[in-house]
Chain A
Amino acid sequence: MVNLIWALLAVIGIIYAAFNGTMEEVNKAIFETLDEAIMITLSLAGVLIFWLGLMKIAEEAGLLKGLAKIFRPVVKRIFPDIPENHPALGYILSNMTANMFGLGNAATPMGLKAMKELKNLSGSDHASRSMITLLAINTSSLTLIPTTVIAIRMKYGAVDPTSIVSATILATLISTCAALLIDRYFYYRRKRAFRI
């Protein structure tokens, strides 16, 4: 599916540009994006290097295990496939916690590390059930305090920049619950299809 989306975006864009005389913009965009992708990866590298280093210390110090222990009942229900005491649990929890506080920069390295642990667990290049659930949680956004949005609202003179926080929390809650339900639905559909 991602192959199709990837190819279609570019193909439609190029054909559209051919008919609408925007080929110059397309050319410019291609090469600007290459630079941008390198820059994003580089800044991501900094964040990854720092947080994965720090989290390794947290893991050795038993902090991730402690975190996993506290939230075990909840996480076990969301990720029934992960064996107890597996390191993936600690990373998943750090990912979720960082997301909740709007620390996107810290959340990504934890999420990636969790993915890596999940891959070790499944040992294949197919997305496992837990991997899809982890993605569902991340794509629906767990942000409780949308710091970036608040900052933008401040900049443009909002009387009450944080007035949207309660609405955002409510919307996030609904979309995350929906993501988990949709994820479950597709999982049971896959399971049924596999049996037949």
Chain B
Amino acid sequence: MISIWLIPAIILIVLVTATLKKIPSYEVFVEGSKEGIQIAISLLPFLLGMMVSIAIFQASGAMGAILKVFDPLMSMIGVPEEILPLAFIRPISGTAALSMTTELIRTFGPESFIGQLASVMQGSTDTTLYIITVYFGAVGIKRMGDALKVGLLADLVGIIASIIIVLILFS
């Protein structure tokens, strides 16, 4: 698979170019990587705080209850209700979404409509809340402007698009 070759190839290109240009690569590496430690440490409070809130919400069962409310609506439009929890959780928690996708593929089979839909949904959207937390947390942005609205609306479009595309291609 291409991604197995990609990372070693990037390392190779960078190091060969640097060596040819007589750049002290190891020293530059250490200098640049120090920034990584700082970013990771400044990230921790943002990430930890957000994760705890999401965990409380999930573990209490409140998330499941909210999802139940939407069940009738989904069956009305003809989308299998099993997919809804995934659509709802995908922007909030990456690990929860991944385990849900795995569960859906396991239960219904990878070639089933739900299995295909879960796969496409998982692949075409990303965890908005996590990305905003991490990206803005790392540089200390306190006023995030419209970022959350933009991210969540884009997720909605992505989810609707995956439903329509999978309906057209696989059913």
Q: Which residues of A contact B (CB under 8 A)?
A: 1-2, 5-7, 9-10, 12-14, 16-17, 20, 22-23, 25-26, 28-30, 32-34, 36-38, 40-42, 44-45, 48-63, 101-103, 106, 108-109, 111-113, 115-116, 118-119, 125-127, 131-132, 134-136, 138-141, 143, 145-149, 152-153, 156-161, 163-164, 166-168, 170-172, 174-176, 178-179, 182-183, 186-187, 190
Of the four ranges (under 10, 10 to 19, 20 to 34, 35 or more), the interface on chain B belongs to: 35 or more
B75 to chain A, nearest CB (A): 23
A to B CB contacts below 8 Å, 15 in the list: A9-B56, A23-B60, A56-B28, A61-B17, A61-B23, A112-B139, A119-B139, A140-B125, A141-B123, A152-B105, A171-B120, A175-B161, A178-B153, A179-B153, A179-B154
A56 to chain B, nearest CB (A): 2
Pairs A-B, 9 closest by C-beta atoms: A56-B32, A53-B33, A146-B123, A175-B158, A29-B59, A48-B36, A158-B110, A179-B154, A171-B124
User: Contacts A112-B138, A115-B139, A116-B139 known; A153 to B119 CB distance under 8 Å?
Assistant: yes
A90 to chain B, nearest CB (A): 13
Contacts of B109 in A (CB 8 A): 156-157
User: Contacts A17-B60, A37-B51, A174-B158 known; A153 to B143 CB distance under 8 Å?
Assistant: no
Q: Which residue of B lies closest to A18 (CB)?
A: B60
Q: Which of A56, A115, A175 makes the CB contact (< 8 A) with B135?
A: A115
B3 to chain A, nearest CB (A): 5
A153 to chain B, nearest CB (A): 4
Q: Which residue of B lies closest to A170 (CB)?
A: B165
Interchain CA distance A14-B62 in the complex, whole Å: 9
A49 to chain B, nearest CB (A): 4
Enumerate B101-119 residues with CB–CB distance to A below 8 Å. 101-102, 105-106, 109-111, 115-116, 119
Counting chain B CB atoms within 10 Å of each CB, the highest count among A23, A131, A140 belongs to: A140
Interchain CA distance A70-B60 in the complex, whole Å: 51
Contacts of B115 in A (CB 8 A): 153, 158
Q: Which of A57, A101, A108, A158 makes the CB contact (< 8 A) with B111?
A: A158
Q: Which of A22, A63, A108, A141 makes the CB contact (< 8 A) with B158?
A: A141
Contacts of A190 in B (CB 8 A): 145-146
Task: Report yes or no: B110 in contact with A161, Cβ–Cβ below 8 A.
Answer: yes
The verdict on B149 contacting chain A, using a C-beta distance below 8 Å, is yes
Interchain CA distance A59-B15 in the complex, whole Å: 12
The verdict on B80 contacting chain A, using a C-beta distance below 8 Å, is no
A191 to chain B, nearest CB (A): 12
Interchain CA distance A187-B142 in the complex, whole Å: 18
Q: Which of A115, A136, A168, A186 makes the CB contact (< 8 A) with B124?
A: A168
Q: Which of A10, A36, A102, A108 makes the CB contact (< 8 A) with B3?
A: A102
Interchain CA distance A112-B142 in the complex, whole Å: 15
User: Contacts A13-B60, A119-B139 known; A33 to B98 CB distance under 8 Å?
Assistant: no
What would 19 more interface pairs be, CB under 8 Å, given A44-B43, A148-B122, A157-B109?
Answer: A9-B56, A12-B60, A16-B62, A17-B60, A37-B47, A37-B51, A41-B44, A54-B14, A57-B14, A58-B17, A60-B23, A61-B14, A115-B136, A115-B139, A119-B139, A136-B150, A143-B124, A146-B119, A149-B101
Contacts of A118 in B (CB 8 A): 139
Task: Report yes or no: A54 in contact with B11, Cβ–Cβ below 8 A.
Answer: yes
Task: Report yes or no: A139 in contact with B154, Cβ–Cβ below 8 A.
Answer: yes
